[in-house]
Chains A and B, each alone.
Chain A
Amino acid sequence: MRRGLSGFLAALGLLALMAAGAFGQVPSWKPLAQDDLHDPAGPAVNLLQQPAAALSVLPPDGAGNMVRWVKALEEGHIQPRTALRQQTKVQVYDKDVLLNLKGGMPVVRFPHKAHTEWLDCSNCHDHLFKKQAGATKISMFRILSGEQCGLCHGAVSFPLTECSRCHSVSHAQARKELEGQSR
């Protein structure tokens, strides 16, 4: 019974995945007047910059803004300011944290560096995550409902459909890294 249900769900899921893939090649940057958000009758659609004009020249990606933002920053395609007035330096912290060590999905590598290039520690600590690896109870359901990692990923940063960008480390590799650290 259970088996039948899960088999059905899996088949359904795979079918839908394939269907989604087939429609996946739609041009990504809609002109503002056709984006279903800006008022085509207003003056702004002729004055604002079109997303395609700015984004098509940046390192490409397959989802979200279709821009690999980490690379765009790293390679200097964009130089976003770090402060409005006095040039306070961003505090970059270069430590990866491995999450989801026990799950069935591959382990999640959380890169502090990619985040602290953009964000301040106070954007995450301690109201979203504790400052201790493994101390926060993180769950994929909460992420999908827009909490924890899903606060940004799913709204502004690369979207949650990119499973493997977070679930990027095999369990064997993760074990190796953790053993290396404890030695």
Chain B
Amino acid sequence: MFLRLAAVRRLGFLRIALWSVVVAIILVASKEAPAEYGDVVINNYSDGAGMRPVVFPHWFHRMRFRCKVCHADLGFQFKAGGNEINMVKIIDGQFCGACHNGEVAWSVENCNLCHSAKPGTPTQVHESTIQKLVAPAGQGARK
């Protein structure tokens, strides 16, 4: 009985110790990450087509639309790069084109406002926890 109790305690301690390391890693790593939280880079095709990759700012859009407008009504999947967006679809009024049509928001001819990332930036949610845990500290800060 006593032994069991002690074992349980020790296990609990180990668990808390492990978690505090995890939290610490996240916190330390999060100081590295500079871009705005929630910015999504979409780069399935852009680099290949000689355009800058696309930056989609969640902070800007969520001030104007609830998540459901895009993620339920317009059918954006919750996955960076997962919607296979291209210009044909946009001009056809799908995805970004549901709004960037000159009515709800400025239209497609403003190429540079969407295609604004540094060339070569991979598809990502810039600030995701996974990225921080997987990427060794410092990788995000490379120049």
The residues of A with any CB-CB pair to B shorter than 8 Å are 2-3, 5-7, 9-10, 12-17, 19-21, 23-24, 26, 29-30, 34-39, 42-45, 47-49, 51, 54-55, 63-65, 67, 69, 78, 80-84, 90, 104, 117-120, 122-123, 140, 144-146, 150-152, 154-156, 159-161, 163
The answer to whether A10 and B20 have CB atoms under 8 Å apart is yes
Instruction: Give B81 Cβ to nearest chain A Cβ, in Å.
Output: 13
Contact of B113 among A5, A47, A161 (CB under 8 A): A47
Known: A54-B60, A82-B66. A64 touches B25 (CB 8 A): no
Residues on B with C-beta less than 8 A from A47 are 112-113
Complexed CA–CA distance, A122 and B112 (Å): 34
Residue of chain A at shortest CB distance from B70: A84
The answer to whether B27 and A16 have CB atoms under 8 Å apart is yes
Known: A51-B59, A80-B66. A14 touches B34 (CB 8 A): no
The residues of B with any CB-CB pair to A shorter than 8 Å are 10, 12-28, 30-31, 34-39, 41, 52, 55, 57-60, 62-69, 71-74, 78, 98-99, 104, 112-113, 115-119, 121, 125-130, 133, 140-141
Complexed CA–CA distance, A150 and B43 (Å): 23
Residues on B with C-beta less than 8 A from A39 are 52, 116-119
Known: A13-B24, A80-B64. A44 touches B59 (CB 8 A): no
Complexed CA–CA distance, A21 and B23 (Å): 12
The answer to whether A118 and B67 have CB atoms under 8 Å apart is yes
Residues on A with C-beta less than 8 A from B62 are 69, 80, 118, 156
Instruction: Give B47 Cβ to nearest chain A Cβ, in Å.
Output: 12
Complexed CA–CA distance, A63 and B126 (Å): 15
The answer to whether A65 and B37 have CB atoms under 8 Å apart is yes
Nearest 4 A-B pairs (CB), nearest first?
A13-B20, A16-B24, A20-B27, A44-B116
The answer to whether B12 and A29 have CB atoms under 8 Å apart is no
Known: A13-B24, A81-B66. A36 touches B140 (CB 8 A): yes
Residues on A with C-beta less than 8 A from B59 are 51, 54-55, 65, 67
Instruction: Give A3 Cβ to nearest chain B Cβ, in Å.
Output: 6
The answer to whether B26 and A17 have CB atoms under 8 Å apart is no
The answer to whether A78 and B63 have CB atoms under 8 Å apart is yes
The answer to whether A49 and B60 have CB atoms under 8 Å apart is yes
The answer to whether A161 and B27 have CB atoms under 8 Å apart is yes
Instruction: Give B93 Cβ to nearest chain A Cβ, in Å.
Output: 11
The answer to whether B35 and A30 have CB atoms under 8 Å apart is yes
